[in-house]
Structure 1
Amino acid sequence: MLQAAGTKLDGNPVAASTARRTKRALNVLIEHAIKKKVLKENPLPKGKGAAAASKTSSAVDKRSLLNKEQAAKLLGWVHARPRGGPRLHTFFATMYYAGARPEEVVALDVGDVRLPDADADDQWGELLLHTAHPEVGRQWTNTGEVREQRGLKGRAADDTRTVPCRPALTRILRAHIEKEGLKPGDLLMQGEKGGDLAGSVIRRAWRRARKEVLTPYEFGSPLGRRVYDLRHTCLTNWLNAGVPAATVAEWAGNSVPVLLATYARCIDGQLDDLKQRIEGEGELPDPAAAGV
């Protein structure tokens, strides 16, 4: 049973995190069976004799992050697509500039986009996140739709989160709303026939963009391999720009410990200053110079 739960259909082992999650689910199932007197004891191995699961890291792989030039080329290729390109470009740009999760961007309502007047000097706006539409499969929703409406991850059902909308994103969103003729109450990101933007369409466009834009070496590397890497890139850029971790965590919808554990390896740009601080503290006198 454990071997089947830890193996994919192609025979390869599942990820270590999936194996641990599956074992926890099996343990709950077996304990329920014991309570119902179907089983007498739990056969799953425990203690020191149990097989140790492979260790996993929650830290972001620095190789997956995009630099500005790479992101510009990828999003530029998406925008030039003849079928739904500008719409998908708006989706990817919102992830890159605002660091929102894919299911949060899909759930954005036009009324959740607070943009300044077009002639305002300050073009910073706000995005109000309060709903997520994750993909869970038609067989698992009450409506028969692929996506399900939920609250924000890790928050109360009616909680909200405000994210700053930088001028570059303000221009993109304003142009998108005007071109699509959207009004408050309409979904900001819609599929070709209305409704939620399909995850399969998003992933297919991103894979094609990587294949067309990146070099063969880059395409085979972790660089931007997942759409989610746009969010990772955004949060890393905020941290490297000197935005306090508590503020980034609030914008991203994470706790500070989770944020630091996830992005600690990706923070750079401050090493020279840190070296100077370290060198200036606790420096012992040179014995040769002191004549000792």
Structure 2
Amino acid sequence: MRLHAFFATLYYCGLRPEEAVAMRVEDVTIPGPDARDQWCELLIHTATPEVGKQWTDTGEIHEERDLKGRAQGETRTAPGHPALTRILRQHIEDEQLKPGDLLFQGETGGILAGSVIRRAWRSARKAVLPPHVFESPTGKRVYDNRHTRLTKCQRRDPACPGGRVGRQQRARAACHLRPLRRRVAAGLEEASGSRRRPPRAA
């Protein structure tokens, strides 16, 4: 699948889709094939979400923005598992990409469209999942790749880096999961209260 490297980047690094589509080849530091340390590193500095032509000054569908939750011009780095290093190295070679090129491109070399991403993700899920799982909410959204990575880091999965960067990812995961836990707890409390509440008299 042509977007294999794109989805792998979301999964292994926890990137938002709008961050991944903005990346250039030069934003990825990939060690040589014979290097002992095969972790790669991604520099994320821009997001290009789809906002619609009517909402941009340029008339383009995408709008370039600073990173979510970061100061203007601030960047961040994300370590990539050796498995991702192999995938990206092959992707760059297969696509014959140059340093200034977009890392993940649309069919004409421009920004990868959200509709193309969603269609590819739906096709991939349908190809590998049993029908009942495919129809369920499990991994239904492209964004769920990021959620999966943050959850794994929170659980100290071996695929997450150790040291300072690993602690940062686990801290982001904890912050990300906290509102979800509150909603689940509130729902359980409400359900429990409903069971205890006596029925109203007719």
Normalization by structure 2: what TM-score?
0.80
Residue 258 of structure 1 corresponds to which residue in structure 2? 175
In 1: Cα distance, 2:33 partner to 2:167 partner: 30
Summarize the alignment of residues 1-292 of structure 1 with structure 2, pairs less than 5 Å apart: 79=1, 85=2, 88-241=3-156, 247=165, 250-251=168-169, 258-262=175-179
CA contact 1:161–1:250 (8 Å) conserved in 2: no
Question: Post-superposition shift, 1:151?
Answer: 0.7
Amino acid at match of 1:234: R
Question: Post-superposition shift, 1:211?
Answer: 2.2
Deviation string 1:265-287 (CA, Å, 9 cap, x unpaired) is 9xxxxxxxxxxxxxxxxxxxxxx
Question: Post-superposition shift, 1:143?
Answer: 1.5
Name which one, 1 or 2, has greater alpha-carbon Rg. 1
The number of aligned residues is 178
% of aligned pairs identical?
60
Deviation string 1:41-78 (CA, Å, 9 cap, x unpaired) is xxxxxxxxxxxxxxxxxxxxxxxxxxxxxxxxxxxxxx
Residue 198 of structure 2 corresponds to which residue in structure 1? none
Deviation string 1:91-150 (CA, Å, 9 cap, x unpaired) is 100001111000000011111101111211110111010100101011111111111111
Q: Provide closer, same or farther for how the CA distance between residues 169 and 133 of structure 1 changes in structure 2, counting only shifts above 3 A.
A: same
Question: Post-superposition shift, 1:184?
Answer: 1.5
Deviation string 1:228-280 (CA, Å, 9 cap, x unpaired) is 11111111111112678x8568448x857632405659xxxxxxxxxxxxxxx
Aligned-residue RMSD, C-alpha: 2.3
3-state SS of 2:42 partner: strand
3-state SS of 1:232 partner: helix
Normalization by structure 1: what TM-score?
0.56
> 4+ residue runs of structure 1 moved beyond 6 angstroms?
none
Amino acid at match of 1:235: L
Amino acid at match of 2:85: T
Structure 1 unaligned blocks of 5 or more: 1-78, 80-84, 266-292
In 2: Cα distance, 1:214 partner to 1:123 partner: 31
Amino acid at match of 1:160: T
In 1: Cα distance, 2:44 partner to 2:17 partner: 12
CA contact 1:94–1:100 (8 Å) conserved in 2: yes
